[in-house]
Structure 1
Amino acid sequence: MKKTIIIISGMLLISCEQISKSIKDTLKPATQDSAAHVEKEEEPPKSPFDPAVERQIDEAQRLVNTIMEKNHPTHVRHPKEGKNTNFLTNEQKLNKAEEALRKLPQYMGKEIFIYSTISFYDDGRIHVMLQHPQNPEYVDSYDYRDGNWSEPTPEQLSVKDDIKTRLVSLNKIPFSNIARAGKIYDEEVSKTEGAEPITNIYLSVWKNTLRWYPSSISGSRERYSIELNENGTLKKFERE
């Protein structure tokens, strides 16, 4: 375990995905029977790691996410563009943005899959990466501002990127959940002396499940960890 933490500490400036891949490459057994890992398409991929090692990898991923959050304050502080519009708690405006996304011509009649992350800003902006509507190996990024979605921008991915495990259906993230989460964040911030308002909420997709950020609220005297359920309801709030 100590050896793994040392490895992680040496790679703090690398992206979250790169760190995760490096950890798995380090822990991967030297020999594997490739035939034993052939999976049916409808079955989720099985981990080649011992359960104890898998837990160690998850702990490392959580550490990386915490470090990334601390070193990217724009995720939870004042955005550089626009003015505060209380977008994060406005269910009507959020639903309008979701409806507009679903009506994009390239996705009409198709299920939309979010890749890796989606970010919401209180000035009315959204940034998201989506699986390409025709080629499942491609990913495009989209920005929402002033009530409109941008044209797609291609994202460059590596052959090592495991796209399937970083996807989640838009059906699993109704934008109304953001309003629910935003109200919870506001409530907890109001009870924490010296805490600044949350101006950015983002969700990370890991192993096809959702994780909400920010995962902590810092005041002038106290710091709290906060964890939400996938539907945006409060799961845990405790002092660190």
Structure 2
Amino acid sequence: MTNIKQFYSLILLLSLLGLSCKQITKSVDETFHPNDSLVKKYNKENRVGSEGEYTGTTKTTTTTSTQHYQEKFVVINGDTVKTPELQDKAKELFHDLEQLKQKQTPAGSKEIQKRVNEFLKDMNLAQPGSKNSNTEKPATKVRKGMLSASQLAQSEEKLRQLPQYRDREIVLYESVHFYEDGSIKLALQHPENPKYVDAYQYKDGYWSEPKPVQARNIERRTFPLSKINFADAQKVIQIYNDKAAQVEGAKPTTTAYISIWDNGMRWFPSTISGSRKRYDIQFNNDGTLKRFRQE
């Protein structure tokens, strides 16, 4: 019964009689070889004539989907189609389908499917088994890339504005990682208890809630935020990639991070490996080049 309704719902749409369109999602054989008694019953209940015409009272409706019915034309998926033109093509389609259906052969079924697809494409309707390009678009994975210098500075300012750290010195613990997806991960010494450390992540413009971590050697692995500029990460990446371009077989970097030890900091990556040579590269705290030499 479902297959029969799908078939005749399509025909009624094509005749512009205000009934909703249902795409053909079942097999061609099942769709176009219904039980005769069920067809007659459905025709009687829905007032469908022998030529597929609607024999009841026609009502004009307006929907908010991709089909909008008006008096002299129809807007389908953003394209305006004249009513007489669509009616003629619908009548032609119905006639072709009736002839093909009478063949009762696998080849006829394939030809039916082909004919329906041609009509749907011509009328800018979604074909069976496909998604409507105007309502459903395939998910595309967007690669945001590392934050710009201004965005990095903004993330740093938002960190300073966290309620628990307002009017307090912020002390970084162990490391700060700047990732190619635009996120930042770091850990901070607890604002109330200096023996505790909490982890934070910056993503989509916001800092996460603190998550407690097991910390050790806190005294040797802390560094004040006031002596670091997040925007310098862009300098490090730019300089690193400029030098890597001069080394045969070396690959550029898309990330950078700060390592903290003995109350000092160091930028990474610190080596450039080519196909034949390897180089040591070091940066000053402000992200400028300190040393570049072959190992």
Separation in structure 1 between the aligned mates of residue 219 and residue 258 of structure 2, nearest angstrom? 17
Q: CA deviation at 1:119?
A: 0.6
Alignment of 1:170-185 (within 5 A): 170-185=225-240
The one-letter code matched in structure 1 to 2:177 is S
The one-letter code matched in structure 1 to 2:189 is Q
Match of 1:202 among 257, 269, 278: 257
Separation in structure 1 between the aligned mates of residue 186 and residue 206 of structure 2, nearest angstrom? 13
Deviations 1:73-95 (A, max 9, x none): xxxxxxxx9725243xx211111
Q: CA deviation at 1:179?
A: 1.8
Separation in structure 1 between the aligned mates of residue 242 and residue 153 of structure 2, nearest angstrom? 22
The one-letter code matched in structure 2 to 1:150 is S
Tell me the secondary structure at the aligned position of residue 275 of structure 2: coil
Q: CA deviation at 1:143?
A: 0.7
* Aligned equivalent of 1:97: 155
Separation in structure 1 between the aligned mates of residue 143 and residue 248 of structure 2, nearest angstrom? 24
Instruction: Give runs of ≥4 in structure 1 deviating > 3 Å.
Output: none
The one-letter code matched in structure 2 to 1:83 is R
Separation in structure 1 between the aligned mates of residue 245 and residue 155 of structure 2, nearest angstrom? 27
Separation in structure 1 between the aligned mates of residue 273 and residue 157 of structure 2, nearest angstrom? 34
Alignment of 1:1-240 (within 5 A): 83-87=143-147, 90-157=148-215, 161-240=216-295
Deviations 1:171-217 (A, max 9, x none): 11111221221221121122222222212211111110011111101
Q: Contact 2:146–2:178 (CA<8 Å) still a contact in 1?
A: no
Unaligned runs of 5+ in 2: 1-140
TM-score by length of 1: 0.61
Q: Contact 1:82–1:123 (CA<8 Å) still a contact in 2?
A: no
Q: CA deviation at 1:164?
A: 1.6
Tell me which structure has the larger Cα radius of gyration. Answer: 2
The one-letter code matched in structure 2 to 1:126 is I
Q: Contact 2:280–2:293 (CA<8 Å) still a contact in 1?
A: yes
Tell me the secondary structure at the aligned position of residue 133 of structure 1: coil
The one-letter code matched in structure 1 to 2:186 is V
Separation in structure 2 between the aligned mates of residue 192 and residue 83 of structure 1, nearest angstrom? 27
Alignment coverage as a number of residue pairs: 155
Unaligned runs of 5+ in 1: 1-80
Q: Rate the CA distance shift 1:165–1:144 in 2: closer, same or farther, 3 A.
A: same
Tell me the secondary structure at the aligned position of residue 238 of structure 1: strand
Separation in structure 1 between the aligned mates of residue 245 and residue 204 of structure 2, nearest angstrom? 29
Separation in structure 2 between the aligned mates of residue 83 and residue 219 of structure 1, nearest angstrom? 26
Tell me the secondary structure at the aligned position of residue 174 of structure 1: coil
Quick one: percent identity of the two aligned structures? 46
Q: Contact 2:146–2:183 (CA<8 Å) still a contact in 1?
A: no
TM-score by length of 2: 0.50
The one-letter code matched in structure 2 to 1:211 is R
The one-letter code matched in structure 1 to 2:157 is E
